[in-house]
Structures are given as C-alpha cells and as structure tokens.
Amino acid sequence: MHRAIPGAIGGGGMRLIGKGAQADIFLNDGCAYKVYTQTEELREALFEALLTQTARDAGLNAPGIFEVKRLGGKPCVVMEFIRGETLHGILSRDPAKLTEMVGLLVDEQLMLHRADGTNFLPLRDKLEDGLARARIDGALRESLRSRLLGLPDGTAVCHGDFHFLNLMRVPGGGIRVVDWVDVRRGPALADAARSYVLLASWGREVAERYFAVYRERSGALASEIHSWIPIAAAARLCENVDARQRTLLEELIRN
C-alpha cells in the first residue's frame, strides 16, 4: 500500500506524537512515521520494517508496513497508525489497574511465545553480542557466557522489548504490539527475563508482580526464569542506560 510522504520533517501536516531514545514518531495522513534520529543508515529502518512485516505476516499483532525511505535526510519507516492508548498511559492515569495491566501484558506475551519464531534470527546470537559489548568485569563476562551455553534453546517468538509502553489497548478492548526491532526466535523464558529486567525500571514491585503472574500462567518454575535474569541484565548494559538503571542492572546480575 502506498502513501505519499512529505519531504521534510514537521512539514505537510506532520504532527509529533512520540519521542524515543532512537527515533521520533510523527502522524500524517493516517500513517505513523518512525524517523530515526541517531543514525543516517537506511539499513536499520529496512531491518525493522522487515522484522515488523514478518511478525504481521505470521499473524501477530504487529502494525502493517507501507514504505521505507528518507524523510528530512533521516531514515524513516512509514507504518500503520494504531489508534489507542499504551498500557503505560492507562497506568499513569490509574495506578490501581496494575494487576489488570500486568495480566494483559502476560497474556499477550504468552500468545507470542506459543507462536513459531522460525523466520526470525536467533536470540542467542543477540545475547552473546550483548555480553561481549557490556561494560563488565572479564571474569563475570565469561561466567555469564558459560551459563548461557548451558541453558536450553527454543523457537518461540521473543519480542525483546515487551513492556507497558509497547502494548496498546485499542477501541473495543483488543491489544496491539509495537516496536518489533528486537524480535528474535529463542527460549520463551529468556524473553520473560528480559521483560522482568525492563519492568524493574518501573519499580521492583512491578517486576515481581509480572514475575508472579507470568510464572503462574505459563507454568514455568521460578528457578527457570531466574537462570536467565543475570544474562538479560548484563546484555542490557551494552545499551544506552543511565546511572540509575546501571545500578539496578548490576544488582540483578548479582542476584
């Protein structure tokens, strides 16, 4: 499906609707424009578009992709605009809905984990790369690498960035999932550990609530999920995290 793309950021009626560490999101003519702000490389936009469309073609709740090109000299993915509210937005208005929102998040994640991730790249490679680039002690790095080698693999769809900001409740009550750039195939519990690590930035009590609900509804043992958490935390250290997050991640690695 083709959409006419304006030639300049902020022009042609474009309205900024979101800002992230790596990209800004604009709305124009019923489409969402994800404009990368930290790179000039079109290949990153092409890679995300491919992953997102692959997820959609697999029947997952991903947005449709219309086009990839440059906008104001920056890489841009033009995609379906999903009307709704993030689970984070709902929680911001009504913190008492935490249990409900965690339940929605876990149910949607378990649906992904039951899907076949064969068409995606292996999560294990991404974790190994994260450990290699993380700013941690060499002995700790080797210990975590050895642990990773001893953990089971899998073929589940692992979103890799599954938290309240990337799930949207749409009119009618359904859930749509955005931001598929980190999706890989691998063991479901590794993806659960990644979500636990991400949700810990909302507060350890939020992460523990998620952990309890995921364990109950998946049937996983607590020890099985815990075995992945130090690896997920260490791999995240190679990302753009602030001092507070780094301290939290170091605590999760030790625990």
Considering only CA atoms, give the Rg of the chain. 18
H helix and E strand count, the chain: 10, 10
Task: Kindly report the three-state secondary structure assignment for every residue of 73-111.
Answer: CEEEEEEECCCCEEHHHHHHHCHHHHHHHHHHHHHHHHH
Residue at which a domain ends, from 80, 112, 136: 80
CATH number at residue 154: 3.90.1200.10
Residue at which a domain ends, from 80, 113, 130: 80
Is residue 1 domain-resident?
A: no
Please report the pLDDT score of residue 12 as a whole number.
Answer: 54
Q: Is 38 found in the same domain as 150?
A: no
User: Tens-digit pLDDT profile for the chain (255 aa)?
Assistant: 334 444 444 455 789 988 887 889 999 999 999 999 888 889 999 999 999 999 999 999 999 999 999 998 999 999 999 999 999 999 999 999 999 999 999 999 999 999 999 999 999 999 999 999 999 999 999 999 999 999 999 999 999 999 999 999 999 989 999 999 999 999 999 999 999 999 999 999 999 999 999 999 999 999 999 999 999 999 999 998 999 999 999 999 987
Who's near 19: CB < 8 A, 6+ residues apart?
A: 25
Q: Is 100 found in the same domain as 197?
A: yes
Q: Is 197 found in the same domain as 114?
A: yes
Q: Is 140 found in the same domain as 214?
A: yes
Number of domains observed in the structure of the chain: 2
CATH number at residue 63: 3.30.200.20
DSSP helix/strand/coil, 223: helix
The sign of the CA dihedral 219, 223, 227, 229 is positive
Are the C-beta atoms of 156 and 73 separated by less than 8 Å? Answer: no
Is residue 19 domain-resident?
A: yes
Please report the pLDDT score of residue 2 as a whole number.
Answer: 34
Residue at which a domain ends, from 80, 96, 111: 80
Please report the pLDDT score of residue 38 as a whole number.
Answer: 82
Are the C-beta atoms of 28 and 69 separated by less than 8 Å? Answer: no
Range of the domain at 219: 85-254
Q: Is 102 found in the same domain as 75?
A: no
Strand partners, 36: 23
Q: Residue 30 has what DSSP assignment?
A: T
Is residue 2 domain-resident?
A: no
Are the C-beta atoms of 64 and 53 separated by less than 8 Å? Answer: yes
Q: Is 246 found in the same domain as 170?
A: yes
Q: Global pTM?
A: 0.91
